Structure 1
Amino acid sequence: MKNVKLTIQYDGTNFSGWQIQPNARTVQEEIEKALTKIMKKPIKINGSGRTDAGVHAMGQIANFYEEFTMPIEKIPIALNALLPQDISIREAVEVPRDFHARYNAKGKKYIYKIYNNKIRNPLLFNYTYFVTYDLDLEKMKEATNYFIGEHNFKSFMASGSSIVNTVRTIHELNLYEKDELLILEAKGNGFLYNMVRIIAGTLVDVGRGKIKLKDLPVIIKSCKREKAGHTAPPQGLYLAKVFYQS
């Protein structure tokens, strides 16, 4: 029995997220359908985590177990011939039997893209958060420092989530300008539901002057969702990379 690790890219615009759900188009279902056709038997895959409707991925990871004779390096070619244009398998490698895409993940990197302009760009509509307000970029950059380290990020988790342990560590949080966009890069040992999007929305609120820098420590310590900023929309979010033990 081989254990195969897949590296996956997808445009989340027309998906209802990663995870299979009734009467909805999902990334997991499309990949499982293609694998089932290739292997000629039902195949289930384990993803490193869910992404919501509209969220994109540059480096989603999944794994599956199966006996087969096809060279593993040929799997991306075979899968991409069957998959829709908005999904691509970038790599397939054999990994140890005990590897699990979700349970062995040690951290993740997300990217969030903001298009700050008075005039919308239809070519960026599905791939960025369009913000028309004037933003103070230097204050936003300064604000990123308050999130780095280990904190209880309950204030930055979507209401209604059932997660009990809301302590996470953000190793890096960088905001910079590139090609007319504001790019936020977040790297940590894990992220709560909507955490990156709420941090992004909070930074935008700081840039607008709605939230003051001195209030950020109070917001974090409050553990109350209503104290933090708004939830930025899904289309600006990208799962960039999943980290595993080397």
Structure 2
Amino acid sequence: MRIAFGVEYDGQPFYGFQTQKQEPTVQSCLEKAVSKVANHPVRVICAGRTDTGVSATQQIIHFETTAVRTPRQWVLGVNTAIHEGVSVLWAKQVDDTFHARFSATSRSYQYRILCRKVRPAINRHQLTWVLPPLDHKKMHEAAQYLLGEHDFNAFRSSKCQANNPVRTMHEARVYQVGDHIICEFRANAFLHHMIRNIVGTLLKVGKAERPVQWVEEVLLGKDRTKAGMTAPPNGLMFTGVTYPHSYRVPPNETD
């Protein structure tokens, strides 16, 4: 049977989601804990891989198992066995056609910036600190050039393995809450470092180093060297995934 989990994690102690030579990773921790509860080896597949230091509030994974467990048993069992920086929020048996990555219709990220004169002590691993002034209204205006279907080659890492740089940006907004400037993005999919490169570019606009229209020039130029710096990973959060309603993922309270 196929089981889906909703997972949250603090990215600070991990070398990203995907299993690699450096440890720990979120995937390896999940696989060890789920395998223990299932009593057989398990491989998990996620909706979107995150880099070193990047956190998630609603990552979706799925795996195959022959073990019969209730959703509550999966949640309690895995959370007892796993690294303290990872928590399973819910578990649900899903149709065999469901795929955490390929069934997704959109993914959402949030980038949080603390804009004040004093460095942060609280939640510093999930913030990027920028000295004021920073014009969030101009950053939001500039972000609107990214909406729709575009070639996002200007905003992807040189290590990006995607064959096609075209993505569709459904939402892009920047707003302020107290000392925090929040950047939110939703797209059908994202390229490697795409959000961090976009934020690094928007920061140049917010700091009045570049005009609002410059972001459109960078996008159309398709040249990574013309964009802003890659923003630090610790401000980035994977915040959700959407799927066709028929899968009922994530589940609601009646499921």
TM (norm. structure 1) is 0.96
Alignment partner of 1:188 is 2:187: yes
Tell me which residue corresponds to 1:19: 18
Give distance in 2, aligned partners of 1:163 and 1:68: 35
Tell me which residue corresponds to 1:89: 88
Give distance in 2, aligned partners of 1:23 and 1:146: 38
Give distance in 2, aligned partners of 1:218 and 1:185: 21
Contact 1:46/1:64, CA 8 A, preserved across alignment: yes
How does 1:69-108 map onto structure 2 within 5 Å?
69-108=68-107
Query: Letter of the aligned partner of 2:121 in structure 1?
Result: P
Contact 2:201/2:215, CA 8 A, preserved across alignment: no
CA shift for structure 1 position 243: 1.2
Give distance in 2, aligned partners of 1:178 and 1:238: 17
Give distance in 2, aligned partners of 1:32 and 1:197: 28
Which 10-residue stretch deviates more, 189-198 or 205-214?
205-214
Q: CA RMSD in A?
A: 1.2
Which 10-residue stretch deviates more, 100-109 or 9-18?
100-109
Query: Letter of the aligned partner of 1:98 in structure 2?
Result: T
CA shift for structure 1 position 68: 1.7
Give distance in 2, aligned partners of 1:112 and 1:68: 38
Tell me which residue corresponds to 1:178: 177
Tell me which residue corresponds to 1:222: 221
Give distance in 2, aligned partners of 1:124 and 1:71: 34
Alignment partner of 1:238 is 2:237: yes
Tell me which residue corresponds to 2:196: 197
Query: Letter of the aligned partner of 2:97 in structure 1?
Result: D
How does 1:38-117 map onto structure 2 within 5 Å?
38-117=37-116
How many aligned residue pairs are there? 245
Query: Letter of the aligned partner of 1:233 in structure 2?
Result: P
Query: Letter of the aligned partner of 1:124 in structure 2?
Result: N
Alignment partner of 1:32 is 2:31: yes
1:160 counterpart SS class: coil
Give distance in 2, aligned partners of 1:192 and 1:16: 18
Alignment partner of 1:207 is 2:206: yes
CA shift for structure 1 position 28: 0.6
Which 10-residue stretch deviates more, 85-94 or 171-180?
171-180
Give distance in 2, aligned partners of 1:60 and 1:99: 15
Q: For residues 121-166 of structure 1, give each alpha carbon's deviation from its aligned partner in whole angstroms, at most 9, with x where no partner exists.
A: 1213211111114212221121111111111110010123232211
Q: For residues 156-209 of structure 1, give each alpha carbon's deviation from its aligned partner in whole angstroms, at most 9, with x where no partner exists.
A: 101232322111111111111124211111011111111111111111110112
2:125 counterpart SS class: coil
CA shift for structure 1 position 215: 2.0
Query: Letter of the aligned partner of 2:43 in structure 1?
Result: K
TM (norm. structure 2) is 0.93
1:13 counterpart SS class: coil
1:105 counterpart SS class: coil
Query: Letter of the aligned partner of 1:51 in structure 2?
Result: T
Contact 1:202/1:229, CA 8 A, preserved across alignment: yes
Contact 1:202/1:211, CA 8 A, preserved across alignment: no
Give distance in 2, aligned partners of 1:138 and 1:97: 45
2:213 counterpart SS class: helix
Query: Letter of the aligned partner of 2:162 in structure 1?
Result: I
Alignment partner of 1:150 is 2:155: no
Contact 1:151/1:169, CA 8 A, preserved across alignment: yes
Query: Letter of the aligned partner of 2:159 in structure 1?
Result: G
Contact 1:110/1:187, CA 8 A, preserved across alignment: yes
Contact 1:73/1:93, CA 8 A, preserved across alignment: no
